[in-house]
Structure 1
Amino acid sequence: MRWTLPNILTVARLAAAPGVAIIFLILPRPYADWVALILFVTAALTDWLDGYLARLWKQHSRFGAMLDPIADKAMVIIALATLMGLFGFQPLLILPVAAILFREVFVSGLREFLGNKAGTLSVTKLAKWKTTVQMVAIAVLFSYGIFEHHFGMNVIGMSPEIVAQIFAGEVEDEFHLVALSQWANRAYYGGIVLLWLAATLTVVTGVDYLAKAMPHLREDPHD
């Protein structure tokens, strides 16, 4: 294995995957939300950068080809597990997460079973879009925690009546509660919509991979 910059970026992305979860054990919120968001977005950008540099510098390697999809899956799965811990088992969240996790396990099992025929399941453009939408959805949902916790900290010591008057425009909004609430709602519902879109693309690509694998899964009539 050559330690080229694309390979180093891939290894760094793989190492960052558990860091997104571990950071919530080290830092209080919302600082943990900030660090998790920055770490996840930075790692997601390396997914594009390492492939671009490998093509530009002609530094493709078997190690990079093997590790790149593993790093992507580790990032997505660990981030989704972290979000489940933060949001709880909400139906709007757990259903698309379950679909994504099922597809990843299923397709990985198909590739393992096919062995040297796994090239049949090469990554498609739609699968790349699926990964992109997944990562954007996860980043948006991480940002929700930032707005939510800043809102929560700013209302400490306020009575519900004062908060209601601020939202009604009767009291000056010195701590930007309305804006924080609006951005939290946008991040939550926007992230959920993107996650459902990602789950849809995930299922579609999973069905496509199964269709491509079916000729290799049929029993040989001569056996």
Structure 2
Amino acid sequence: MPTDLPNLLTISRILAIPVMVLLAAFREPWADMAACAVFSAAAITDYFDGKIARDRQITSDFGRMLDPIADKLLVGAALMCLAGFDRLPNWSLLPAIIILLREILVSGLREYLAALRIGLPVTRLAKWKTGFQMGALGVLLAGDSGAAAIGLGALPVGAIGEAMLWAAAALTLMTGWDYLRAGLRHATGGTATRP
């Protein structure tokens, strides 16, 4: 049911997106920090909506459908903000592209396998990937200007976020490859095993 707490948390993740985009568009130190805070709060709901749903045994088809969509919308919007507002330093557009393409790949695989009534389970490595990815995007949204706004100007926040984004991209390639192999096994009639 859409009014259960886990589903409300998922919906809140989607509602946070325009707020984050608007704040990032200001391109002011206080707004960068606020965009980071909104993004981080939304990202944290991804953990809690699943945990609460499992603990209270209130999983639903609505939640299973909307949760991955909300995640991809949040990540996609953050990546577009960073790229569009010229906030990805040096070669960091490359890991951003890798992350975005992997999200599209996994969505396509899930859609294909759902038609066959086969689930594509989330692996432990994919959870680590999500953690690194969300952390990197939050740090990059804050950037050096946001860090300076809260008195942390001495920290190389942009460089830290860039390193985290590259680490997330590496994990993204590994998990994307695992999911692609699992999908290809089904598509070519091979025996399916968990990625």
Q: Match for residue 103 of structure 2?
A: 104
Q: CA contact under 8 A between 2:113 and 2:120: conserved in structure 1?
A: no
CA distance in 2 between partners of 1:24 and 1:55 (Å): 34
Q: Displacement, 1:103?
A: 1.0
Q: CA contact under 8 A between 2:126 and 2:172: conserved in structure 1?
A: yes
Q: Displacement, 1:212?
A: 0.6
Q: Match for residue 38 of structure 1?
A: 37
Q: Which residue identity is paired with 2:22?
A: I
Q: Match for residue 202 of structure 1?
A: 172
Superposed CA deviations along residues 33-88 of structure 1, whole A, max 9, x for unmatched, are: 12211111111111111112112211111111111111111111111111112335
Q: How many residues align?
A: 189
- Cα distance change of structure 1 residues 190 and 28 upon mapping to structure 2, 3 Å threshold: closer
Determine if the alignment matches structure 1 residue 16 to structure 2 residue 33: no
- Cα distance change of structure 1 residues 3 and 57 upon mapping to structure 2, 3 Å threshold: same
Give the match's secondary structure for 2:116: helix
1:91-170 counterparts in 2 under 5 A?
91-117=90-116, 119-144=118-143, 145-147=145-147, 150=149
Larger radius of gyration: 1
Q: CA contact under 8 A between 1:120 and 1:212: conserved in structure 2?
A: no
- Normalised by the length of structure 1, the TM-score is 0.76
Q: Match for residue 193 of structure 2?
A: none
Q: Match for residue 160 of structure 1?
A: none
Q: Displacement, 1:89?
A: 6.0
CA distance in 2 between partners of 1:147 and 1:189 (Å): 12
CA distance in 2 between partners of 1:2 and 1:19 (Å): 22
Q: Displacement, 1:142?
A: 1.9
- Cα distance change of structure 1 residues 24 and 2 upon mapping to structure 2, 3 Å threshold: closer
- Cα distance change of structure 1 residues 43 and 108 upon mapping to structure 2, 3 Å threshold: same
What value does the CA root-mean-square deviation take over the aligned residues?
2.3
Q: Displacement, 1:120?
A: 4.3
Q: Which residue identity is paired with 2:164?
A: L
CA distance in 2 between partners of 1:85 and 1:205 (Å): 27
CA distance in 1 between partners of 2:137 and 2:88 (Å): 16
Give the match's secondary structure for 1:92: coil
CA distance in 2 between partners of 1:193 and 1:118 (Å): 38
Structure 1: segments with no counterpart, 5+ residues: 152-175
CA distance in 2 between partners of 1:24 and 1:194 (Å): 20
Q: Match for residue 4 of structure 2?
A: 4
Q: CA contact under 8 A between 2:139 and 2:161: conserved in structure 1?
A: yes
- Normalised by the length of structure 2, the TM-score is 0.87
Q: Displacement, 1:17?
A: 2.0
1:212-223 counterparts in 2 under 5 A?
212-218=182-188
Question: Identity of counterpart residues, as a percentage?
Answer: 41
Structure 2: segments with no counterpart, 5+ residues: 191-195
Q: Displacement, 1:106?
A: 1.5
CA distance in 2 between partners of 1:118 and 1:16 (Å): 32
Q: Which residue identity is paired with 1:53?
A: I
